[in-house]
Amino acid sequence: MAESSLTVGQVAERSGFTRSALRYYEREGLVSAERTEGGQRRYARSVLRRLAFIRAARHVGLTLEEIRVSLAELPRSRTPTRRDWTRISKRWRQRLNAEIEALEALRDGLDSCIGCGCLSLQRCLISNPGDGAAARGPGAVYLPKPLREAEHGQ
């Protein structure tokens, strides 16, 4: 085991993730740790980059499965390079653009509704008189699709 390995407490402190989150991500196969003879976890320093990647990916709405697929493309035999990260993050661009577009539509819709001052549930585009939205399916059907997907943000 490398002399520069980190304990679970050190990784938690450096990454900002709780110890339980680190154990969870390890169970999910997103990060790995070696064990000492006494069974304590020891992480390679490169795990901090993987955790930063996980945090960024969660912030842009990637699911754990999408994160798992992306991380599986990174080399385990060496620390990922800038080129490795760039290749993976380029795929986020389309998703981020769709997310931004959906959030702008939501913002603009809320702004015009709140800004008009009518407060009329009969005319408001966001209201749902007579539960007419039920025919469109489950969830908040008036939200742009990227903002109402079941897996979003989980």
The whole-angstrom separation of Cα 142 and Cα 147 is 10
How high is the pLDDT of residue 154?
41
pLDDT digit string (tens) for 15-72?
Answer: 999 999 999 999 999 999 999 999 999 999 989 988 998 998 888 788 899 889 888 8
What is the pLDDT confidence band of residue 152, given thresholds at 50, 70 and 90? very low
pLDDT digit string (tens) for 75-111?
Answer: 776 777 888 888 888 888 888 888 888 888 777 776 5
The whole-angstrom separation of Cα 34 and Cα 42 is 5
How high is the pLDDT of residue 149?
64
Q: What CATH code is assigned to 6-90?
A: 1.10.1660.10
HEC assignment per residue over 37-97? CCCCEEECCCHHHHHHHHHHHHHCCCCHHHHHHHHHCCCCCCCCCHHHHHHHHHCHHHHHH
pTM exceeds 0.85 for this model? no
Domain residue spans of the chain: 6-90, 94-148
